[in-house]
Structure 1
């Protein structure tokens, strides 16, 4: 039980780190561009994952089909990170996390339903409508203010959710290698593609990057990616996906709290209400149990 409680605490820290990544990207966006951020973040992460994979005794061997999926997911990851970067740069970290985090499982379910891989029930239809209502509540849609609703950052957030849903579906097709090894290769290929087509590392103005930049890069690379992803994957293996998935509900709220503390962002009641509605939709779609009833001993 003590080990399980410790793992729950580590999962809690992982979700806080994921929420904090929205704040990190907002700050990093003041220093470098999207592709430079992708190159540095995932380059550092790939290197730090090597000893973890060795320590966990996972094989680096990868089959041709899995590698093909790695390339596709890497391209999708680059698209997601661009939407993530520009949405947060022009919008707010709090709204971005509140919108994107619950939208990802909703979009994943919707895409699978449209592909015929999921059967849509009345409960699912209601849940999808609930999720849409949550997002519209965050956007204050009843004001009919086009300048407030149809801003570019909201489009970036929606595209980010769609692209990550696509990444989730693609990566789930790989069943012959460990998820953590698949993720490692995805980061390696992502860095290679960005280096090949978008970034010349020698042209990055390293002399302009101060301690605040490096602190946020370290947090997003080590805490939000290497640490959080490793704990999440281990949690799925040890506790099961159903139990671990409930911790994802902490991500938007940690992002909102950290955005208020470190970015001085203003949060209104409708963002909180919309987040709750969207998370309720995710809970219904995925049959997630937040609090389990303990059986009374006789």
Structure 2
């Protein structure tokens, strides 16, 4: 179940990247971020009121943690991604975003002394290679020729915030209800966005209420915010950030599949090769392989047994 939750999170977020880039001329980044989370909060509240009331003492006790998590994820990461997509492409953003699993590993080691196993390291590298192969269309020259700009640097900083948020989930109190936690950081994030949103309005940065704009906000609020965050947070609690991190590499995979299905793009050999490497890396990272060597007779080797847990 946690693996399915991670897959769905990556799927919902890949749609968020494509939509936010496609609508970047229609909706200003701060406005998109504010309305995304304001609507998400409206969706959450009917389900969150009772848990919030029951968990109010836990929330008060861990208020600093919740404020920090809300600011770096809701206010920070998401808003920075939208700002970056004003000046960079969805492909570049996805490519830089693929550094998240590596950042998670580094932060986990630095903060909690959690080291990657050999298989986890191999899995991250394999899935990362799959992403690079997919985006370069199997041609390294294309990858080397890609131009990175200011928006890509913003994405890189955003990925650092998201990696920190993910690793910090280890510190979330176990007795705190998932919906209480998400609603709490959502409230923090929206409140922190209010001054920036009002500043945008003062500058005349508004957007017309059209069906595409409303549908975009509806999608990013329900799927990329409420559901994706609940799934991601829940999966990390069960598996840990290091195991969950490589699933971020599914985002360009899903973007490719969506493009083939809905944009009439052709499925090429490099698509399949990249996707195979991504899934192979995730599989290796997600499961433990232990080789057990036993010598039944002195001087003689018994067969090697492979065990998957």
Instruction: State if a TM-score over 0.5 links the two structures.
Output: yes
Q: Which residue number corresponds to residue 198 of structure 2?
A: 199
CA separation of 1:252/1:132 partners in 2, compared to 1, >3 Å: closer, same or farther?
A: closer
CA separation of 1:119/1:184 partners in 2, compared to 1, >3 Å: closer, same or farther?
A: same
- Alpha-carbon distance, 1:154 to partner: 4.3
1:36 aligns with 2:31: yes
Q: Measure the CA separation in 2 of the matches of 1:159 and 1:131.
A: 21
1:69 aligns with 2:68: no
Q: Contact 1:95 / 1:138 at 8 angstroms: preserved in 2?
A: no
Long gaps (5+) in structure 1: 290-298
Partner residue of 2:148 out of 150, 167, 187: 150
CA separation of 1:115/1:231 partners in 2, compared to 1, >3 Å: closer, same or farther?
A: closer
Q: Which residue number corresponds to residue 84 of structure 1?
A: 81
CA separation of 1:226/1:262 partners in 2, compared to 1, >3 Å: closer, same or farther?
A: same
- With normalisation by structure 2, the TM-score equals 0.69
- Alpha-carbon distance, 1:210 to partner: 1.7
> Which structure has the greater CA radius of gyration?
2
Q: Which residue number corresponds to residue 293 of structure 1?
A: none
Q: How many residues align?
A: 280
Q: Measure the CA separation in 2 of the matches of 1:125 and 1:9.
A: 22
1:113 aligns with 2:109: yes
CA separation of 1:138/1:205 partners in 2, compared to 1, >3 Å: closer, same or farther?
A: same
Name whichever of 76-85 and 57-66 sits farther off: 57-66
Q: Which residue number corresponds to residue 295 of structure 1?
A: none
Q: Measure the CA separation in 2 of the matches of 1:130 and 1:227.
A: 28
Summarize the alignment of residues 23-62 of structure 1 with structure 2, pairs less than 5 Å apart: 23-54=18-49, 59-61=54-56, 62=58
Long gaps (5+) in structure 2: 290-309
Q: Which residue number corresponds to residue 302 of structure 2?
A: none
CA separation of 1:144/1:22 partners in 2, compared to 1, >3 Å: closer, same or farther?
A: closer
What's the C-alpha RMSD, in Å, of the aligned pairs?
4.2
Q: Which has the higher contact order (CA 8 A, sep 6+)?
A: 1
Summarize the alignment of residues 116-265 of structure 1 with structure 2, pairs less than 5 Å apart: 116-138=112-134, 140=136, 142-143=140-141, 148-175=146-173, 176-197=175-196, 199-200=198-199, 202-203=201-202, 206=206, 208-230=208-230, 241=239, 251-259=251-259
Q: Contact 2:127 / 2:279 at 8 angstroms: preserved in 1?
A: yes
Q: Contact 1:106 / 1:282 at 8 angstroms: preserved in 2?
A: no
Q: Measure the CA separation in 2 of the matches of 1:36 and 1:288.
A: 44
CA separation of 1:28/1:207 partners in 2, compared to 1, >3 Å: closer, same or farther?
A: closer
Partner residue of 1:93 out of 87, 90, 93: 90
Q: Measure the CA separation in 2 of the matches of 1:58 and 1:275.
A: 45
**What do residues 100-151 of structure 1 show as CA deviations (whole Å, max 9, x unaligned)?**
3x54334312321233521244334433443453454356483287651434
